[in-house]
Structure 1
Amino acid sequence: MNTTAETTRPIDDVRLSRRLTAEFLGSAGLAAVVVGSGIAASELSPTDVGLQLLENAIATALGLAVLIVVFAPFGGAQFNPVVTLVDAVSRGRTWSDAAAYIPTQIAGCISGAVLANVMFAGPAVSISTTQRLTPATFLSEIVATTGLVLVIFLLARTERQSVIPWAVGAYIGAAYFFTSSTSFANPAITVGRMFSDTFAGIAPSSAPGFIGAQLLGATLAVLLLRWMGNPRSHP
């Protein structure tokens, strides 16, 4: 799926190796923004968790929007396995492309988390000990992922595709606060955040539950998208 209207040629016309490079760089950039801003927030506001979350959320929202704008013309700027899976289910992307995109996104997010650790003079890899999985955060990840997928694909069905990067950034920034899970909404970033025992990290024991919730959210979003259809086909 092309996430902006600014692309000058179909995504499928871009060589797969270049699309995968764009997905890797964008995914790495996303993880670096999420983890790096979390580390910076902890250092800048060590006694105020609310302010730490605000700083992390603002940096993530802005960074994600910029990364989508930059890399969308090359690979669609998905950076997220559930978005890629929904795109394949919706026949916007081939399953062979999806099979190549998903491991690239995961590798990119791991690399970005490692890069963030090193940029802040920490060990390259530090496995997170932050336990996040509870019934509330499981439900939150379903809600966060369903909402993210709907934002992307409903806007893609209209003539407002150019606002998708900013809408996605704004949604994720808001979801940091209206969900108890702080809205990971992305299996690749969930895996990447396991490799940083910092503010944004998640313990490996919590990650499978988060990923399961994200897949459930994506499934619910697919059902809603099919039910709602094309907005321009209705009076």
Structure 2
Amino acid sequence: MTAPLGRRVAAEAIGTGLLVTVVVGSGIQATELSHDVGVQLLANSLATVFGLGVLITLLGPVSGAHFNPAVTLAAWATGRRTGEGPGLREVAAYVPAQVAGAIAGAVLADAMFGEPLVRFSTQHRSAGHLLLGEVVATGGLVLLVLGLERVGRAALAPAVVASYIGAAYWFTSSTSFANPAVTIGRAFTDTFAGIAPGSVAPFIGAQLLGVVVGLTAVTVVYGRRDRAATATATATATTAAAATAAATTATAVVAPHDEPELASP
């Protein structure tokens, strides 16, 4: 049963806000506990992995746990052909909620650690190799999220998506922002996880390019999906499930009395 739009928007705002709180707060904590940048990044990435996994598990059943305009746009782009996914109304509601939540999350993290509530970051991250890292990180995320849905493994999203983000912290030059809303939110804190306002637009541009790359990869790997194909796949799955259930029932009925009956589900 789909939750009302208001509840879904609230889940996106809260989820994105708490995600940024985890990212920024753990970054502040890490710099207070260690002067080793490698240790700081390790602490920051581990906290993000655990926090993201929990948030997807908790809020996914309500809104889909996008927490990311890039994911929302990718889901909308693929849903136009299949009749699934968010419509323009949902996109128009989700994206501002994600951005507002991200900013609030950064302010909350700063407040918890006694930092100025709003102090724009001075960390410039606009080099070309960093932007390439964002294209790769975002494209991989889109491929992962949509790929899990295509292969019927969406239930694994909390663990798999969190694991990917944790890995991308280390294998991308940009430490994998991969999220326009989070990028904007992190501009509001001059701490370990911050990004200078002047670097925000190039990062978001790279992330949007990553969405295109990810959607292209999904089409290349899984093929184009339209409404008819989706309906056929659904009907096939339903028929297969009914046939399996019928076969199981028949086996239980004809089993000899001296053999153990099938266990009840």
Settle same-fold status: TM greater than 0.5: yes
Counterparts in 2 of 1:88-103, with a 5 A limit? Answer: 88-91=76-79, 92-103=85-96
Q: Which has the larger radius of gyration?
A: 2
Residue type matched to 1:19 in 2?
Answer: R
Q: Does 1:22 align with 2:11?
A: yes
1:79 to 58, 67, 72: 67
| Matched ranges for 1:195-210 at <5 A | 195-210=188-203
Return the match for 1:113 from 106, 109, 121. Answer: 106
Displacement of 1:133 in angstroms is 1.2
Deviation at 1:161, TM superposition (A): 1.4
Tell me how far 1:225 sits from its aligned partner: 1.4
Contact 1:157 1:230 in 2 (8 A): no
Deviations 1:73-103 (A, max 9, x none): 1111100001000011011210111011001
Alignment of 1:171-186 (within 5 A): 171-186=164-179
Letter in 2 for 1:15: P
Between Structure 1 and Structure 2, how many residues are aligned?
Answer: 221
Find the aligned partners of 2:22 and 2:78 in 1 and give their Cα distance: 29
State the match for 1:54 in structure 2: 42
Any unmatched runs of 5+ in structure 2? Answer: 80-84, 230-265
Q: Aligned equivalents of 2:36 and 2:214: distance in 1?
A: 35
CA separation in 2, counterparts of 1:70 and 1:105?
16
Q: Distance in 2 between the 1:177 and 1:118 partners?
A: 28
- The 5-angstrom pairing of residues 219-230 of structure 1 reads 219-229=212-222
Partner of 2:158: 165
- Letter of the 1:130 partner, please give it: Q
Alpha-carbon offset, residue 227 of structure 1: 2.3
Bigger share in helix: 2
Q: Deviations over 1:172-219 (max 9, x none)?
A: 111111111000000000000000000000000111111000000001
* Distance in 1, Cα, partners of 2:165 & 2:219: 23
Q: Aligned residue for 1:5?
A: none
TM-score w.r.t. length of structure 1 = 0.91
2:100, 2:72 → 1: CA distance? 15
**What's the CA shift for 1:158?**
1.6
1:33 to 18, 22, 28: 22
Residue type matched to 1:219 in 2? V
The answer to whether the Cα contact below 8 Å between 1:126 and 1:195 also exists between their aligned partners in 2 is: yes
CA distance in 2, matches of 1:50, 1:155: 31
What root-mean-square deviation, in Å, do the aligned CA atoms of Structure 1 and Structure 2 show? 1.4
Q: Deviations over 1:38-92 (max 9, x none)?
A: 00000011x2000000000000011011100000111111000010000110112
AA of the residue aligned to 1:184:
F
Any idea what the Cα deviations from partners look like across 1:19-48, whole Å, max 9, x if unmatched?
Answer: 011001100000000000000000011x20
How does 1:122-201 map onto structure 2 within 5 Å? Answer: 122-201=115-194
Q: Which amino acid is the alignment partner of residue 83 of structure 1?
A: V
Residue 246 of structure 2: aligned partner: none
Report the Cα distance in structure 1 between the residues aligned to 2:21 and 2:53, rounded to whole angstroms. 14
